Homo-oligomer: A and B are copies of this chain.
Amino acid sequence: MTPERKERLLAVLNKRQPELTVVLENVADPHNISAVMRTCDAVGIQDIYILNTRIPLHKKWSAKASSSAEKWLTVHQFTDAKECFTEIRKRFNKVYTTHLASDSKDLYELNLTESVALVFGNEHSGVTEEILQYTDGNFIIPQVGIIKSLNISVACAVSLYEAFRQKHLAGHYDTPRLQGEQLQKLTSEWELNIDQ
């Protein structure tokens, strides 16, 4: 690997944001998952959780794809909700869902500079009731139109870029957030990615 390439990888790793993640619960369409992954990469999210309790695990995500954002993300797959959120709670302080409820907060009221996981549910049925017990609250993306439904990849992008905006203002992109062992492990993995 050339020094320039290594430098570029390190530059991206130094913008990664270990305090932010996305959980996709029973999201069915691989195109949506793929679009979400691109947005995760774009705002510096490294870890993404895919929880499938009602639909089969996506085969496509079980093996490394050769040319996609996924190659540069750490994808955690679960089929058990409790197990999934136990893992998430070890690393993130807050968990918010996009469940529509009367007590939902507005996206723009959330403090996304905290350590936070954002959960997006199935395209048709949204997040399941089952997982609400593991979460801290709901948020909605404000809408003033007739249709009142945004595609999941759009909803996720709007949420993640609001996080980007807040974190950027808070200086989270100014100094590396990944440290020590985690940074070393990813650097090794990424070097292998490039060589492949």
Contacts and interface: CB of A to CB of B under 8 A. Distances in A.
A68 B149 CA distance: 11
Interface residues of A, number: 36
Nearest to A146: B72
A43 interface: yes
A146 B39 contact: no
A162 interface: yes
Chain copies in complex: 2
The DSSP consensus for interface residues of chain A is helix
A168 interface: yes
A92 interface: no
B145 A35 contact: no
Contact of A146 (B69, B158, B173): B69
Given A146-B12, A154-B157, A157-B150, A108 B165 contact: yes
Contacts of A134: none
Contacts of A142: 164, 168
Contacts of A101: none
Interface in A151-184: 151, 153-154, 157-158, 161-162, 164-165, 168, 173
A143 B15 CA distance: 10
A63 interface: no
A38 interface: yes
Contacts of A154: 35, 38-39, 153-154, 157
A146 B41 contact: yes
A144 interface: yes
